[in-house]
Structure formats: structure tokens, C-alpha cells
Structure 1
Amino acid sequence: MEQGRRKPFSGAVSIFHGRWMPETAIPVGYAALIDAFELPVPVPINLSAIGPRHKVYEAESWNIYTPRHQPGNDLAGHLTFALRYEGLDLAVLKALFRKIGPEPIADMVRAAPTGAYARRLWFLYEWLLGIRLDLPDAAQGTYALVVDPDRQFAVGGASSTRHRVKNNLPGTPAFCPMIFRTPALDAFVARGLGDEARQLIAEVPADLLARTAAFLLLKDSRSSFQIEGEDPPQDRIQRWSQVIGEAGRRPIDRAELERLQRIVIGDARFVHLGLRVEGGFIGEHDRLSGAPIPDHISARHEDLPSLIDGLASFDRSAAQHLDPVLAAAALAFGFVYIHPFEDGNGRLHRYLIHHVLAERGFNPPGLVFPVSSVILDRIDAYRTVLESYSRRLLPLVHWQPTDRGNVAVLNDTADFYRYFDATPHAEFLFECVARTIDVDLPAETAFLRIYDAFKIEVQQMIDMPDRLLDLLFRFLRQNEGRLSKRARDKEFSALSDAEAARIETIYAEIRQSTG
């Protein structure tokens, strides 16, 4: 029996850890390991089991395999199945390695010194735990990829001669979210959204593009505050838009994040600046007792320096080699789960999206995709994505309330924030970026073309200040090209009936010609 083993591997069941299975089946791979070794980790989004029929299918977050896929009912069998069919779940693997100790992995390598799965596990044990196994360097065996690039996104990779593997993990032991390949993500990556955006703006006149960029930048800044339920004064929105416009110019590290927090908070009289010095959570307080009711519990404040160092290392290394949108999703959502500050985390989380896209040259020069405004429009989907991990994480965090209405975390949770499945987050972010290119950018340039043409026509007819021209155009847009009786009686009472009718005709003709 392996060291740390607490109970036998499960037989056929219809419910696994509270999750219904599509039919009675035998959990295998990560599901079997989590159950048998009672691993305190977030259960993966998708699990695997062996069904009674000779049919491979997916249903209800389960991948059901046939009896011929049944692995050996031991540690080596389930680990090999997981690496072969399920990819890497670093949180599960690290928790398992801690539970079983070094000898079972060393025994697997000794039994199959040239085996690719054994050498990958050997590498992962030493990489995740920073502990060298009592094994000589591998002398034979074709170099194996640590990450299967057909199953999960990976980077180029450096060779580890000790294990005869190529380390193509998209991160470091301090921070390494994994993203599974899905049909949606493969299609988005192949589409080349950055190139599409550059082609889209190539025919836009420079002055029109500059005004479009300025509007979208301000729109993104305003939306980022609105997502947090804030309605700050215009000058604060403009200051933050200037910061977003400079995203990507400086690498991300603790000092830079703290600088950005000071800017986003502004008045810090009631906010602690810098990394938290106590617990943190997202949620509500009981109305009577003031006790916390968390929806998400942030990383322990003791772990924040190392976690932020992990983010910074990811920004300097893996983020430079992954697709920019994938890298932005991993970095930004990793940051928001860590929640390192007392306040300002949400806006900095969205800033990090801009940072990666700009740093990688994904944005056309001078243009910011208004991702925050799309998120605001899709706020329910955004919350669902955030909860895709928070709901699985929350039951594993042991905490107690403090006398200040906060939480004190009692167990070691750092790895929960280092390693998570960022697939839903990457799909969501790609959808947001695609909408800015498909809808927002063309709509704003079209709006300005219509406005400019309308303004020229009306000014040739009537001498009217820009302020009233803006108002006139806005009224027509809001009322399907007609001036309301209220507008005619108040702001534009000086217009004759003929002038009003002509203005409505101008608006309609321009809309038709540019539509």
C-alpha cells in the first residue's frame, strides 16, 4: 500500500462527491486519486470514469470511457491514465505528492526508467515540491513533453537533461494556471483577432481613429468603475483612462501594482494601501451580527509576497510565449482570485488584461479594446466565470470570523491560487475581445463618420454652437431620427418647422448612406 493511502479505490458509483454521473461508472484518473487519498483540492471541472458500454462520450462534466480504457487499479495506473487522457492538474498532483511522499514516484521511475509517463511524473514531483528524488539522472529515453500540447496550451519549453523531458509548462511553480484546448479557443486563436483589428482600422482616417481611440478609452475606464458599483467624478475616470492608455509599458511586479493601486484608490484615508496585512473575502456581512458571509475567500496575507512574485515571473516569461489573450486571462483572473489589496483589486484585474494585450502588441498602436464595457454588458456571464472556480474553492478554505468582521484563514491555501483551470476565463475573455472588434470598434467609427457628416450639413444650414449640435444629434439618435415635441418646444424652439424637417431629412440620408 502506497504511503499516505487512506482507503481503497472506488468501484462503480452513480454519485461522486455530490456530483451526479450520467450513468453508474467507475471513477478513474484524478477522480479516483482525489477520492482514495482524500485530497483537499478543488475537484476538476471535468472528471473521468469507466462506463459499462463500449462507447466513449461526454456528459454532465464527465468523460465516460469504455472498459478497455480501464487503468490498473493502483497509484501508477490512475496517474498514467490522468496524464494520458486528462492533462495536468497541478493542484491535484502537488497535493498527491505531498500525501504519498517520494518513494512511490521513485519506484515508478525505477520500474520504467525510460517510460515517458514515469519521467514526466518524476519531473513534476521535483518541479512542484522543490525536492530532489533519490534517483540518478535519466540516461535513456526520448525527450517527452511535460504538457501534452494537443490537450492543453503550452509554451516552447526548455530541456531538462536530468529527466529527459521538455518543460513546456506555461508558468513557474509559483504561478502556473493551465488552459485546456477547446474547439472555441482553437477557433479564436486561429482567427487572429489582433490582425483583424489592425486591418479594420487601416482604412480609418487618422483624426477619426484618434477620436475613436479616445472615446473607447474613456468608455473602458468608466465601465471599470461601474462594474464595482462606483460612480466617481469625471476627473477620476479620466485619470484612470490615462493609466490604461499607458498599459504594457512597465513590467508587472509588486512595486508597479502598488503604484497602480494608489492611483485607482485616490482618497486613501480609509483604505490600507499596499498588500493586505489581514484576511480578505468577497461577499456580504450578516445584518445582525456583522459576521462575514463569503462568496470567495482571498489568499492568506502571509502568502501574498510569494504569490505576487509568481505573477510577476509569469508576466516576464510565460506571458511572452502564450497567445496574448490566453496569457491575459491567466494573469488577470489569477490576480483577482488572489485579491492582494484591501481595495482596487477589480479595476487592477481588468487593467492587467490591457497590460498583457498592449505589452504583446495585440492592440493596434494607440487603441485600447474596451473590454470593461463588454464585461459590464455581460456582467452575469462575468460573475459566472468568476464563480466557476470560487464555488469549488470555497469549501476547501477553513476560516473563522474575526472581531473586525473579516476572515482568518486557518489552513494552507496558497496552491489554490497558484494552480487553477483558466479555461472558462480564457473563453470568456476571447468572447469579450472578439466583440470589441466585431461590434464596438466598427460602431464607434461609424458613429463618428455619421456625426461628422451631420455636423457639416447642419452648420451649412444654421450657425449653431457645438454644444447644441451634440445635443441635437443625440436627440435624433434617441428618438429614431425625429425631434420630439419636447425638444422642439424647449432646447430647439428657435427652429422653424421647415428647418426641423430638413434636419431630420439630413440625419436620415446620412444614416442611409453610411449604413
Structure 2
Amino acid sequence: MGYEYVRSSLDLPIFEMRRPAVVKPVTRIMSSAEALGVPSAMAPADGDLVAHLLFALKHEGVNLQVLAGASKHLAGTDLAAAFAATPNGQYVRMLCSAWEHFTGNQVVAQPVVTAGYVDMFDDARYYTGGTDRDSRWRVNFNGLGTWDYCVTVERTPAIKDALDFDVLGATREFVTSLNRELLGRTLTWAYLHETQDSYAIEKEAPSEDKARTFIRLLRQAHQPRSLDEQYLVELQASIVSNPYNQAVQYRTEQNWLSDGGRGSLGVTFVPPRPDDLPELMDAWSRFANDTAKHLDPLMAASIASFGFVYLHPFMDGNGRLSRFLFHKVLCQSGQLPDGMLLPVSVAMKRHEAQYLSVLQDFSRPARALVNARAAGEGDFEFTFKCDDTIFRFWDATRCVEFGLSMAREALEVELRNETNFIVHFDAVRKQIDDQYDLRGSTLAALVSIALNNEGAISNSKRKRYADEVAPEIFDAIEGKVREVLTDDALDQSDRATNDTDRDGAPR
């Protein structure tokens, strides 16, 4: 029943419901991870699409894919009858408002509504945005976007916990806790490894020139610049070295992704048609430039980044650009110090399987809505069963969960670990350098080896440097590294103890 009944009855070319409403032997509506169980007595009648949509709006939330697709099949007279039966009902007003926006027609010439305004999205269930008032039906469209492009983000425990942690506030504290030299060395590492890992996710290793270009791009993320076609084309051309793959506009050809499998079964994702792309990219740009300003910056960055890669507006470089855009949208919020970088791609590379899973949440159902036919070696002809609705209205909940968790890990693991490494490295190098006469590059290499191996220098490494390092120096380096690591572990334990209340509860 509800949305899934409407989708299947009309054979709408949209995503299937993750948790469909189904009749179950229950006495009240029961929610589970797989479905929404509904008593048979509450089920709308077969064939009554309006009743099913009203049920869905009340019990399943807002699904703009279904509402947009179903509107083409609903008669205005049926909606007018439903409105006449309950003229102040909030769900019938929401349905009428949506139908008018999606069809451009009117249900009735002048609806008489005496009830107050109602929000389209329940802010107890969803994160919401600005308000676009429909005075005819007294409905506030308060989604994350507009009627042209809108994502949904549910208020899950994972997102709440991440927002409560306040990654950006913790990042600002982190910056102020470091002296200028230590911060500079940490950020030098972050820019380099963010670049290397963003390429590594694409199974590439950047040349020195490519890495330098991408680092320069990341350093420009704080500079104000609207995300429009001209700028995005400049960005794409700057990270794609092959002149034949450098864009001058959004793509005019169909692209696709493949896992290397034979024939059409190897095609894993087909982005929107080139003819649909200009309007979709304009709608995405309005989100990234305008709506994003009113959201939590990390939430906005996550939505903009994933939304861009789903549209895949260029023939090459989309993945790297999408991860750069995470930084761009985040930096444009002004909530990070100038020059600061959260190396989210480093964290994503560490959790690459989870990253792929989040991408596949969209790409797999989207792929099912496109037929692919081999048309020569390595080429295909695509027949879209869907229009551009699935690219305009999508569920970004998992994308936001993932983006927030990667930002936190970028700070709490990647940056803090690198800072600790630098502090430990300096302490060991100084003491060994004071005691022994050793070439600087050799000393630096051995200290790094020991720090990365919990204080041990392997026999193979000892043999490699045996001609220039005495055995007692190897032992001294190992001993000093273990000492600083032990001291650091004790300091962390003391800090954790001091941050605990007398009753044992963490502050």
C-alpha cells in the first residue's frame, strides 16, 4: 500500500521503496527495518491512488519521486473531490500543492482553506531548509532544496551524534592548540595525502605535476567562487591532463561506469542523458550555492559532493571533482580557518568499501532503470526507462552519515595521528642526533620506520643500513621511540581520567 502501491500500480520508473508499507497481522502500525506493517483495516481501497498517497504522506513521510511521477497520472477532479471531503486536511493540501507544482495545472480555481500553514516536511523526522510558501494551499515547502531539486535527510541517531560532536568546532580548537610550525607541517602532510588518496580511490597514482596541480586546487577552496558551468569546467580542465579529455562545457555525450565485466552486464551506472544535464546541473548549482548556506556545512558538503558525482557532468574527472567539491562547499561556509583542510579522502580511502556501498545505494537502482545494448566494441546504446526525476529527488541520509563520519575521522584520526607523529619524530631525532653522528636523511628514515612499526626496526632494514649505522644506534632509536610512545600512551590515559567525573561518567 502507500507509495509502493502507487509506484507498482502505475509502473513508475523510479526507485523501489526501501521500507514499503504492507498489510500485516498487526493491531496498529508497526515499523521495522524491512517494512511498515499496517493492519488490514487501515489499508486504502484498491484503485484509489489518492487515498494511497494520502496514507503515505501521513505514515511514510515525503517521497518526491513518487509524488512527481504519480502527478502525471492523477486527475485533478479526483484531488478536488478529496479536498472537498476534508478541505482543511493537511495531507490533502500537501498533495494538491505537489500536484500543482508538478503539473502546472490547478486542482480548483480558488481553494478555500481556513486552517493554518502546514510544513511539507516534518522537522521531527527530516532535516529541513528554507520556506517557500504556497498561499493557495497554505503549505510551506521546507525541504533541502526546491521543487526542482530536493534531497531528503532523515534525523538518524548517527547524524545527530555527529552533529552534536561538532567536528568544525573541534577542528578550530585543534588549530589553536598547535604552534604555527607544527600546524604547517601537519597541513603539508594533509594536502599531499588528500591528493594521493583522492587519486587512489580512482585506482590512479598522480604524477608529481598532477599532485602539485591538485594541491594548488585544494588550497584555493577557501576563495569565494560560485559553482557554475564556467568554474566547474575550469576545475575539470585543471585536474585532467589529457587535452582530449578536458571539457569546454558539460558533456554532450552519454557516459557510463563499468566494472570491467563483459557486455552490458558490466555497466554499473548510467548518469543522466546529456539533454537533461543542463537543467539538472543548474538545479544542483542552486543547491550548492544557495541552499547550502542555510545547512550545517558538513551536511551541505556531503550532499553537494554526492549529488555532483551522481550527475557525472564530464567525461572524465568526476570522482576527484566531487571530493574537491566537498572541500569547496565546506570552506565556503567560513567555519574553517583559512588554509585549513580536513583530509576526508584519506578517511574515505581507509573505508573504501563503505564509500562504494553508499554510492551503490543510488547507482544500483538507477542502473535498473536503463537498458543497455552493446553497439560495437566497448560501446553501448542506452534506453532510459526513467526521466530525470530520480536525479532531482533522492535520499541523501546515508551520504550525510558517511560524510560526517569521514570528516570526524579526518580530524580525530588522520590529523591528530600525523601531529603526534611529527612531535614524536622531532623528539626522537633530536635525542639521537645529539648522541650520534648520523647522516640526516638516514636518521630521518630510520626514525620514521621505527615510529611506523611500534618501535621496531626489522632485520631487513638493519641489513640495508648496516654499512653506515652501528648496531647500538639501531637499538638507541628503537629504545627512544618506544619511550616516547609509552609516555604518550600514559599522557592520554591521564587525560581520559581527568575528563571523567567523580561518578565515573565522561564529561
The separation in 1 between residues aligned to 2:440 and 2:141, in whole angstroms, is 60
The separation in 1 between residues aligned to 2:380 and 2:247, in whole angstroms, is 14
1:10 is matched with none
Distance 1:399 1:51, change over 3 A: same
1:222 matched to 2:196: yes
**Following TM superposition, by how much is the alpha carbon of 1:134 offset from its aligned partner in structure 2, in angstroms?**
3.9
1:47 is matched with 20
Letter in structure 2 aligned against 1:502: A
**Following TM superposition, by how much is the alpha carbon of 1:193 offset from its aligned partner in structure 2, in angstroms?**
2.0
2:333 is matched with 360
2:241 is matched with 266
The separation in 1 between residues aligned to 2:412 and 2:103, in whole angstroms, is 45
Any gaps of 5 or more consecutive residues in structure 2?
490-507
Contact 1:126/1:133, CA 8 A, preserved across alignment: yes
Residue by residue, what CA displacement relative to the aligned partner does 1:280-316 show, whole Å, maximum 9, x if unpaired? 11115665xx667311111001111111101111012
Residue by residue, what CA displacement relative to the aligned partner does 1:62-105 show, whole Å, maximum 9, x if unpaired? 12133464445523321121111111111111100012243333
**Following TM superposition, by how much is the alpha carbon of 1:189 offset from its aligned partner in structure 2, in angstroms?**
2.2
Distance 1:244 1:44, change over 3 A: farther
Distance 1:513 1:386, change over 3 A: same
Distance 1:40 1:494, change over 3 A: closer
**Following TM superposition, by how much is the alpha carbon of 1:212 offset from its aligned partner in structure 2, in angstroms?**
1.0
Q: 1:298 aligns with which of 250, 255, 271?
A: 271
Residue range with higher mean Cα deviation, 109-118 or 65-74: 65-74
Residue range with higher mean Cα deviation, 266-275 or 387-396: 266-275
Residue by residue, what CA displacement relative to the aligned partner does 1:325-382 show, whole Å, maximum 9, x if unpaired? 2222222212111111111011111112112221223444422111111111111111
2:252 is matched with 277
The separation in 2 between residues aligned to 1:79 and 1:440, in whole angstroms, is 47
The separation in 2 between residues aligned to 1:465 and 1:137, in whole angstroms, is 85
Distance 1:419 1:500, change over 3 A: same
Letter in structure 1 aligned against 2:258: G
2:57 is matched with 83
**Following TM superposition, by how much is the alpha carbon of 1:216 offset from its aligned partner in structure 2, in angstroms?**
1.1
Residue by residue, what CA displacement relative to the aligned partner does 1:105-142 show, whole Å, maximum 9, x if unpaired? 33333333322112211221233344444421545221
Letter in structure 2 aligned against 1:406: F
2:4 is matched with 31
Q: 1:178 aligns with which of 137, 142, 152?
A: 152
The separation in 1 between residues aligned to 2:460 and 2:12, in whole angstroms, is 68
Distance 1:246 1:88, change over 3 A: same
TM-score, scaled to structure 1:
0.88
The separation in 2 between residues aligned to 1:195 and 1:410, in whole angstroms, is 45
1:253 matched to 2:224: no
The within-5 A match list for 1:95-494 is 95-136=69-110, 138-248=112-222, 249-269=224-244, 273-284=248-259, 293-403=266-376, 405-491=379-465, 493-494=467-468
The separation in 2 between residues aligned to 1:209 and 1:461, in whole angstroms, is 28
The separation in 2 between residues aligned to 1:316 and 1:181, in whole angstroms, is 23
Any gaps of 5 or more consecutive residues in structure 1?
1-27
Contact 1:184/1:427, CA 8 A, preserved across alignment: yes
Distance 1:274 1:461, change over 3 A: farther
Contact 1:281/1:406, CA 8 A, preserved across alignment: no
**Following TM superposition, by how much is the alpha carbon of 1:405 offset from its aligned partner in structure 2, in angstroms?**
0.4
Residue range with higher mean Cα deviation, 432-441 or 72-81: 72-81
The separation in 2 between residues aligned to 1:339 and 1:436, in whole angstroms, is 25
Letter in structure 2 aligned against 1:422: A
The separation in 2 between residues aligned to 1:356 and 1:93, in whole angstroms, is 30
The separation in 2 between residues aligned to 1:497 and 1:79, in whole angstroms, is 78
**Following TM superposition, by how much is the alpha carbon of 1:191 offset from its aligned partner in structure 2, in angstroms?**
2.5
Q: What secondary structure does 1:99 align onto?
A: coil
Contact 2:251/2:274, CA 8 A, preserved across alignment: yes
Distance 1:103 1:237, change over 3 A: farther
Q: What secondary structure does 2:152 align onto?
A: coil
Identity, % of aligned positions: 28
Contact 1:400/1:410, CA 8 A, preserved across alignment: no
**Following TM superposition, by how much is the alpha carbon of 1:479 offset from its aligned partner in structure 2, in angstroms?**
4.0
Letter in structure 2 aligned against 1:275: Y
1:64 matched to 2:37: yes
Contact 1:280/1:298, CA 8 A, preserved across alignment: yes
Residue range with higher mean Cα deviation, 450-459 or 90-99: 450-459
- What is the aligned-residue RMSD (CA, Å)? 2.3
The separation in 1 between residues aligned to 2:104 and 2:306, in whole angstroms, is 26
